[in-house]
Amino acid sequence: MPQQNTEILAATATGIARAAQLLRQGELVSFPTETVYGLGADARQGAAVAAIYEAKGRPSFNPLIAHLHSAEAAQRYVVWNATAETLAQAFWPGPLTLVLPLRDGHGISPLVTAGLDTLGVRVPAHPAGQALLQALDGPVAAPSANPSGRISPTTAAHVRAGLGGRIAAILDDGACGVGLESAIIGLAGPEPVLLRPGGLAAEEIEAVLGRKLAQRDAGDPLTAPGQLLSHYAPGAPVRLNAAKPGGGELYLGFGPGDCDLNLSRDADLAEAAANLFGHLHRLDALGKPIAVAPVPDHGLGEAINDRLRRAAAPRD
Ligand code: TXA
Ligand code: MG
């Protein structure tokens, strides 16, 4: 695709107005959310959505999340239900995506849903992301703003390193606070299903629902987020649950002890989530194999371990 000059926009009224204008013109704009930076396009413009896949080099069977400024805005595009209302009241704006049936006359490009009759909707909490969605007052389709298969971006510098020259602009507002993509809950079937663990712990969602979430059917490729097992991957091999590094390995620690970088010296899972992708980017830049300390599998640890398993999975 042709090289372009990627504008770096500050999170000011001027920068946000420019970002909204570019989206309206069918351009790609990366914007911050509390989870990771998204690569946004107006979800109603098929050519703009197609450009997302092109810029990322992403397999086109993967559906995208539509970002809205409010639950009311989301209800213009999906068939709402009582469980969605409960979860939206409890967790929106925030790191939660709900998959619901598309509504008649929705106007969303079929490229966003990859032809499914459901749509993932999310209301992000980040102030600059929110301001952009309000300025556009329309649905923004946005995967994470990284080349397909690589580590998700939690700073504007990560986005520029991966996609600079391929997108119109980056709305820069510092580092993302949560650091892991949203949890995705399927609400289009008979019971709520955890489609992807993420930056909101499944236990918190279950506490609000008063019931356990069903687990997704691993054999169902289209409702399975991601997809390709190898994902979020650094260039060099990654070895998990390593009590210590082997010769020539960098060590990504968790909890007290010697290491090259520590996800959280205090063994705090929220801190580890916020650090995960940034630390992987930094170790990746050193070009050596990476050994990762064990991370407990509860709370946000479930999503951290999901991303680590993808980083460590065999590559094509
Ligand atoms: O935190 C996040 O969710 C970030 C930020 C940018 O909002 N976005 C993100 O998007 O992680 P992406 O494209 O990397 O992941 C979206 C996932 C996909 O893996 C897809 O399989 C799933 O959401 N998904 C989207 N729509 C779906 C649908 N209708 N049914 C089932 N899964 C869906
Ligand atoms: Mg992604």
Q: Which residues of the chain have pLDDT under 70?
A: 1, 59-61, 218-232, 316
The CA 281 to ligand 2 mean position distance, Å, reads: 14
**Substitution site in 78, 144, 227, 306 for ligand 1 pocket (most atoms within 8 Å of beta carbon):** 144
Return the pLDDT at 230. 61
Return the pLDDT at 301. 95
**Substitution site in 36, 37, 65, 116 for ligand 1 pocket (most atoms within 8 Å of beta carbon):** 65
pLDDT above 90: percentage of residues in the chain: 82
Q: Is 226 in the pocket of ligand 1 (CB under 6 A)?
A: yes
Q: How far does the chain reach from its first CA to its final CA, in angstroms?
A: 24
The string of pLDDT tens digits covering residues 248-265 is: 999 999 999 999 999 999
CA atoms within 13 A on the CB side of 10: 3
Q: Which of 164, 185, 24, 180 is nearest to 118 (CA)?
A: 185
Supply the DSSP string of 173-202, one letter for each residue. ----SS-SPPEEEE-SSSS-EEEE--SS-H
Residue bearing tokens 């000011």: 12
Closest ligand by atom to 152 CA: 2
Return the pLDDT at 313. 85
Whose CA is closest to atom 6 on ligand 1? 38
Q: What's the DSSP call for residue 142? A: -
Cα–Cα distance, 40 to 35 (Å, whole number): 14
Task: Give pTM, 2 decimals.
Answer: 0.90
CA atoms within 13 A on the CB side of 165: 6
Return the pLDDT at 149. 85
Cα–Cα distance, 51 to 145 (Å, whole number): 12
Q: Is 152 in the pocket of ligand 1 (CB under 6 A)?
A: no
Angle between helix 269-284 and helix 301-312 axes, rounded to 10 deg: 20
Cα–Cα distance, 296 to 62 (Å, whole number): 29
Q: Which of 215, 179, 196, 206 is nearest to 99 (CA)?
A: 196
Return the pLDDT at 226. 46
Residue bearing tokens 């509390």: 34
Return the pLDDT at 8. 98
